[in-house]
A and B are shown apart, each in its own frame.
Chain A
């Protein structure tokens, strides 16, 4: 019974790997993999001399790192504050609502972001103006300096509740007697949060962080693609978008595949090594 599934996986996951040949060819779809001319590493040479490629690599790394830092911090702080709520029903409501954005698609999230940040009557501008922080609407989506932050907080908004699930589960696993002991020793609430809760989930945090570092070249494709228009293209283009525009839109298949391989290989190395480190560090790290 498992044989058909394996064949299926072979077709859709292993068979396309032969397409990596393209990166070493001057690939023409009409000639196929066998007929196209081999050019060795020329495509890679061309790729590494392309300024757009370096730019998209920089954008990918910057947005990933920002996502990683802010995503983790917000999720942990949220989980810790949620943990301190005493009324179960309120906790439950907050938690349920915090998952909501996770279930919206990126297209919808981007549409909501563009509404909220709109320079004509967008809520963010209205609120900031009412509070007197700015005196005229800011064109959030049209300026390069804001784009990475929009991406970061878009991700925080969408995934904060979802990412906190794992930390909340880890907190539930902390031995209650530790809190009692701390209380007898005269610890107040903040000391307990800082010295019992946080160390209790530290191994979870470390493992999750390490594993996420492995995916650092996957900055997320959808938000930068959907919201990056016109003026902000210089800071919004990620490697995935580079592959898409060069490959599918302008038909430069070999170059795009080379960029894709570059990303894949680095990702594999990173994921493999971070997984190895995570396993070394935390045999029993997660529950």
Chain B
């Protein structure tokens, strides 16, 4: 439609509009990308050289020493392992549990459907708050325990609702046909319904993974006393705090520098950890884009 119009009559106005719009969008790209890009450049630059400032798009004096320090450091390697572990477990369990509940709630013949749905929905709006939850975790002996990363957030009602409404949109005859052929609910769920839900499962998996990978507060609150349970984002938070308190500028380096302080600076360490802590997700999300876009739309309709 728009093309036809352009051919029909050439005017100056559309040209101006598209130029301005393109420039604006290019500006958006720069603003969105530059802070991260700049950090990548700093992380690959020689630490002492970075102190002179003026690193913008490309490293001036290429060096991978910051990364070597990150991966050689025991605390940070532990953090990477913990972050990966918690992300994997939380994603697999989270997707499984959400789709299981979603499946049960999507069955028309389930007798207590109304009550059960309400039961789960309430938890979305009513939460006990920080302090009572803290005491609960304490009384369950989950303080300084790896499972505190997985268990409290395992049932995400929001995800349940999205999966449920997706399953309700599947044709009812799918499950009925399988039942006529003698499949139980378990088989229906695993062999018929789940394979049909791949797009929505991909969305939920991405959200679970992002949530688990990006959280630092639970480490801070529940596991700060146990170094072997530290996570990447929590280490990042510590680096940020010491950078914010300018009097403690050197702490970052001496914390991780392993003696050779002059080779790494707090800034270069922070840049390298930033990249390590964000690249896994940034590498994945563009490929799942078409799935999560539909997931967001579905979530807004139902949520």
Contacts and interface: CB of A to CB of B under 8 A. Distances in A.
B166 interface: no
B104 A1 contact: yes
Interface string A78-106: 10011011100010011111111101111
Given A12-B136, A107-B236, A114 B243 contact: yes
Given A110-B240, A165-B296, A97 B32 contact: yes
A39 interface: no
A169 B155 contact: no
A266 interface: no
A226 B214 CA distance: 14
B29 interface: yes
B62 interface: no
B28 to A, nearest CB: 6
Interface in B226-256: 233, 236-237, 239-241, 243-245
B10 interface: no
B286 interface: yes
Given A121-B53, A165-B297, A22 B119 contact: no
A250 interface: no
Which of B21, B22, B132, B136 gathers the greatest number of chain A CB atoms within 10 Å?
B132
A20 B128 contact: yes
Contacts of B120: 9
Nearest to A113: B35
B34 interface: yes
B137 to A, nearest CB: 9
Nearest to A12: B152
Contact of B214 (A2, A19, A105, A180): A105
A247 B179 CA distance: 54
Contacts of A286: 300-301
A145 interface: no
A150 interface: no
A81 B25 contact: yes
B39 A104 contact: no
A contact face: mostly helix, strand, loop, or mixed: helix
A227 interface: yes
B240 A123 contact: no
B13 A2 contact: no
B contact face: mostly helix, strand, loop, or mixed: helix
A112 interface: yes
Nearest to B6: A86
A16 B136 contact: yes
B29 A97 contact: yes
B188 interface: no
Interface residues on B, range: 35 or more
B36 interface: yes
A226 B125 contact: no
B2 interface: yes
A229 B244 CA distance: 8
A19 B130 CA distance: 10
Contact of B270 (A104, A111, A244): A111
A208 interface: yes
Contacts of B286: 96
Contact of B289 (A14, A15, A99, A116): A99
Interface of A: 1-2, 5-6, 8-9, 11-20, 22, 29, 78, 81-82, 84-86, 90, 93-101, 103-108, 110-116, 120-121, 123, 141, 157, 161-162, 165-166, 169, 176, 179-180, 183, 188-189, 208, 211, 221-222, 226-227, 229, 240, 243-244, 247-248, 253, 256-257, 260-261, 263-264, 267-268, 271-272, 286-287
10 contacts: A9-B120, A12-B155, A29-B135, A112-B35, A112-B274, A166-B297, A169-B296, A208-B300, A260-B130, A271-B125
Given A12-B152, A97-B29, A166-B296, 14 more contacts: A2-B101, A5-B97, A12-B154, A14-B123, A15-B136, A96-B289, A97-B28, A112-B35, A157-B32, A161-B32, A165-B297, A260-B131, A261-B129, A287-B297
10 closest pairs, A vs B, by CB?
Answer: A19-B132, A260-B129, A105-B214, A16-B128, A121-B53, A13-B123, A112-B35, A16-B132, A16-B136, A2-B104
Interface of B: 1-3, 5, 13-14, 17-18, 21-22, 24-25, 28-29, 31-36, 38-39, 53-54, 97, 100-101, 104, 116, 119-120, 123, 125-136, 140, 151-152, 154-155, 185, 210, 213-217, 221, 233, 236-237, 239-241, 243-245, 267, 270, 274, 277-278, 281-282, 285-286, 289, 293, 296-297, 300-301, 303
